[in-house]
Structure 1
Amino acid sequence: MAIFSFLTGYIIPFILVLSLLVFVHEMGHYLVGRWCGIRSTAFSVGFGPELVGFTDKHGTRWKLSAIPLGGYVKFYGDDDVASMPDASGLEGLSESEKAQTLAGAKLWKRAATVAAGPIANFILAIAIFAILFSVYGKVIADPVVAEVQPNSAAEAAGVLPGDRLVALDGTRIRTFDDVRRYVSIRPETPITVTVERDGRDMDLPMVPKRSEVTDQFGNKVELGLIGIVTNEQRGNFRVETFSPIQAVSEGVKETGHIITGTFRYIGNLVTGRMKADQLGGPVRVAQASGQMATLGFAAVVQLAAVLSVSIGLLNLMPVPVLDGGHLVFYAIEAIRGRPLGAGAQEIAFRIGLAMVLSLMVFATFNDITNLIG
């Protein structure tokens, strides 16, 4: 019974969510590649042995594979699923046949095909947020202070109950979510909070404290806090719904917030303001999928949007093997006027593969440590 609950509560939601995101990512590569005249020989959701599949009239093998931790589109002329060109195989092709390979296509076609995967993930996230905001609406809490916590950054700065937060470091804000997003990724970083009090604005400098917070599922996460309680936390908020056009605009904003927050988090890792144990791997994603499933369909879909952005960003990392590494190669080719040699590319791919595997091992180690802890 426990195993059945684990499968239905964690593994199945994880596989469904991840498979959808992988499918959309790879479909971006496939569709743009086909539009550019580049043939594909395989489209796989998952790695490893094929579980089920079929071959279409264009010669593409569509398949579901055994290891649900990614996927790939293998193009004509590729040596492997990471789109490393088969140099010896390309030599025996005619010019028209080479033009149908990824390696032999024009530079802009290669770049467009590679970039299409991450872009598809961003578009999916925007679409998901837009649908959620249209159907379910968006919870809005005005950034009015209901209570100031003792010994907090806000108390030290002189924030008072009734103050309305109107700007952070000069940037105007509209909701408490704007405050939460901005502050949470800036632990131990000086900021200036502008509050409106008695009809006039006041600039209050403060430094968010790095704090460990436990969410409703018992997960612990480190973030920056200034120590204010809002009306939202006391159940005083409203739900706004949007027209389709407004919802798309809000979806773009939400996706942009995730992207900027991710880059800020990476910067905090480099500077030591955040611990590397916050990095999660497949185990933590599975755990989050199961936890969101208990909150309902909308929560799972929202998690899918967040993960879609993360997958897009991860693949844009300038690491060989990933899409971003290919784009770096193409940028070098555009500057040099010719591609890097096959030997240099192979070495770079090996290094990139080692980096990706190391990151996966480290993230999985964090997951297991987090579970044990």
Structure 2
Amino acid sequence: MISILAFLLAIGVLVTFHELGHYVAARCCGVKVLRFSIGFGKPLFTVRRGETEWAVCPIPLGGYVKMLDEREGIVLPADRPRAFSRQPVGKRMLIVAAGPVMNLLLATLFYWVVIGNGLTLYRPLVGTVVPESPAAIAGFQPGDRVLSIAGTPVAQWNDISLALLDRSSDASEPLTVQVETVAGQRLNRVVKAGSETGGNGQIGILPVRYSLVLGAVEPGGAAQRAGLSAGDLLLSANGRSLRGWAEWVGMVHNSPGKEVSLAFLRGKERRQVMLRPDSVETPTGFVGRIGAAPAVDAAWLATLRYELHPDVAEAGWMAVQKTWSNGVLSLRMFGRMLIGQASWNNLSGPITIASVAGQTARQGLDAYLEFLALISVSIGILNLLPIPILDGGHLMYYTAELIKGSPVSERAQLLGQRIGFALLASLMAFALLNDISRLFGG
């Protein structure tokens, strides 16, 4: 229920402000607005204010602003100067562009509020290197401080995530990451071209460091069957001292169905058990699994975390930069999907968006506002794409009109709308299939 309500609120806010951009621009340009609708379908609620009817409709997947237009009906001679179709092409472009621009401004406002409340950031220090990952093969070590990625400086951990995501589909060149080791030596770690994992540019480094203390034990799992419980400190396996959680995970993965002699500490008492990891089938073969998760190394996490409290002006500028960077990243990712350099599995639909909306709403206002900002950026960028039926498609027609000196023919516009509708419907269907696949673990 929280996810549904958070999703409906998000769509309501973002659609309202998008359409409000069109409405305000139309009024400023002297165009008569007949209806302002949130949602599609037969109106559930309407109210008239002046010459505009305001409506709420049952299908919450968008909205529209209906303006007076000679192409859509008879217009009285007295109203013709206020018809959208009678406006100069510059005014029409302004009215159409105002919706996406409003989404980008709204995203900036949300980011401004979040950043102004103070940020909890993490230093770009590698806490964990996943065994056998591209990062491990490239020689990354726990404690490495990431200085730059492909020549782009890194200031905090989120910069690493964004840089790797931006490079996730570029398989043509190796990825060079400059690091400073624990000993203070500056080195270049080179990740092999095209070896990113997880489809999002993940190379196998994490900021957190996991201890050998069990943080949670899955009911019915191999660890519980062997008598392990949360709080146990793992010491050695098969007589060999364990140096870290990653080493233990590697040993478990390589021992499906095989007994492992495990020594651990419970309180001050040293104990010994025989543990047999469950055998789990994966695309690369069978691996061992015990159903236990580690506790995070709190001392290490404390060294990573720091607070940032910018003033109002600094927060505003940082919000503009964040909106810009996320917009550029969204545009690049969509472009790469179109040319086949990025997987279409990255596309998300309403089910995934609703799930994330619920998760962020539970985390608090700042997390939810940041989610709204990210979706608002995506809506703004999507609507600016030159696809007929979207705002960007109309801008494409108006640009052609400016160049050729006359409007694009109605036949060409109608054909474009059909193509645009087919493309948009295909995108929505693919996104929904991705959602269903994620929902059922496909």
Which deviates further from its counterpart, 258-267 or 229-238?
229-238
- 3-state DSSP of counterpart to 1:338: coil
Letter in 2 for 1:183: L
Partner residue, 1:81 = none
Matched with 1:166 is 147
Stretches of structure 2 that go unaligned for 5 or more consecutive residues are 210-295
Match of 2:54 in 1: 62
Q: How does 1:116-265 map to 2 (within 5 A)?
A: 116-135=98-117, 137-187=118-168, 189=171, 190-197=174-181, 201-207=186-192, 209-212=195-198, 222-230=199-207, 234-236=300-302, 237-265=305-333
Matching of residue 330 in structure 1 with residue 307 in structure 2 = no
Is the deviation greater in 165-174 or in 68-77?
165-174
Contact 1:147/1:230, CA 8 A, preserved across alignment: yes
Query: Which one has the largest radius of gyration?
Result: 2
User: For each residue in 1:300-320, what CA deviation from the matched residue of structure 2 results, as whole angstroms up to 9, or x when unmatched?
Assistant: 221111111111111112111
CA distance in 1, matches of 2:127, 2:149: 18
The separation in 2 between residues aligned to 1:255 and 1:358, in whole angstroms, is 27
SS in 1 for 2:14: helix
160-169 vs 108-117, greater mean Cα deviation: 160-169
1:257-311 residue CA offsets vs partner (Å, 9 max, x unmatched): 2222223322442454543222122222222212222222222221111111111
| Residue correspondence of structure 1 range 266-285 to structure 2 within 5 A | 266-270=334-338, 272-285=340-353
The match for 1:367 is: 435
Q: For the Cα contact (< 8 Å) 1:209–1:225, is it kept in 2?
A: no
Which runs of no fewer than 5 residues in structure 1 stay unpaired?
1-7, 79-84, 213-221
In the superposition, relative to structure 1, how do residues 156 and 365 fare at CA in structure 2: closer, same or farther (>3 Å)? closer
Q: Residue 18 of structure 1 corresponds to which residue in structure 2?
A: 11
Counterparts in 2 of 1:29 and 1:73: CA distance versus 1, 3 Å: same
Distance across 1 between alignment mates of 2:17 and 2:360:
21
Q: Which residue matches 1:217?
A: none
Give the match's secondary structure for 1:204.
strand
State the alpha-carbon separation in 1 of the partners of residues 309 and 374 from structure 2: 20
Instruction: Give the Å deviation of 1:323.
Output: 0.2
Mapped contact 2:331–2:381 kept (Cα < 8 A): no
Match of 1:82 in 2: none
Aligned to 2:216: none
Indicate the residue corresponding to 2:37 in structure 1. 44
C-alpha displacement at 1:42, in angstroms? 0.5
Q: 1:319 and 1:154, CA in 2 relative to 1: closer, same or farther beyond 3 A?
A: same
Q: Secondary structure at the match of 1:314?
A: helix
Q: Distance in 1 between matches of 2:207 and 2:9?
A: 36
**Structure 1 match to 2:93:** 111
CA–CA distance in 1 between the matches of 2:341 and 2:333? Answer: 9
Secondary structure in structure 2 of the residue aligned to 1:145: coil
C-alpha distance after superposition, 1:77-116 (max 9, x if no partner):
16xxxxxx43x63xx654x733312221111111111101
Residue in 1 aligned with 2:284?
none
Counterpart Cα distance in 2 of 1:46 and 1:29: 15
Structure 1 residue identity aligned to 2:41: G
| Bigger share in helix | 1
SS of residue matched to 1:224: coil
The answer to whether the Cα contact below 8 Å between 1:98 and 1:105 also exists between their aligned partners in 2 is: no
Task: Name the CA distance, whole Å, in 2 between partners of 1:134 and 1:371.
Answer: 35
State how far apart, in whole Å, the 2-side matches of 1:152 and 1:370 are. 23
CA distance in 2, matches of 1:184, 1:354: 29
Counterpart code for 1:186: R
How many residues are treated as equivalent by the alignment? 345
Distance in 2 (CA, whole Å) between partners of 1:273 and 1:118 is: 26
Distance (Å, rounded) in 1 between the aligned partners of 2:59 and 2:9:
13
Aligned to 1:215: none
Q: Is the 8 A contact 1:47 1:67 kept in 2?
A: yes
CA 1:292 to 1:42, structure 2 compared with 1: closer, same or farther past 3 Å?
same
User: Counterpart of 1:73 in structure 2: which amino acid?
Assistant: V
1:295: which partner in 2?
A: 363
Using the TM superposition, name which of 288-297 and 301-310 deviates more.
Answer: 288-297
TM-score calculated relative to the size of structure 2: 0.73
CA distance in 2, matches of 1:167, 1:22: 38
Q: Distance in 2 between matches of 1:251 and 1:271?
A: 30
* One-letter identity of the residue aligned with 2:197: S
Displacement of 1:69: 0.7
Does residue 1:77 correspond to 2:62, yes or no?
no
State the match for 2:46 in structure 1.
53
**1:317-356 alignment runs, 5 A limit:** 317-356=385-424
Give distance in 2, aligned partners of 1:99 and 1:209: 60
User: Which 10-residue stretch deviates more, 17-26 or 261-270?
Assistant: 261-270
Question: How many Å apart are 1:159 and its aligned residue?
Answer: 3.1
Task: Quote how far apart the aligned CAs of 1:50 are.
Answer: 0.6
Could you state the TM-score of these two structures normalised by the residue count of structure 1?
0.86
* Structure-1 residue corresponding to 2:21: 28
Change (3 A) 1:158 1:365: closer
Query: Which one is further off, 66-75 or 98-107?
Result: 98-107
- The percentage of counterpart residues that share the same residue type is 35
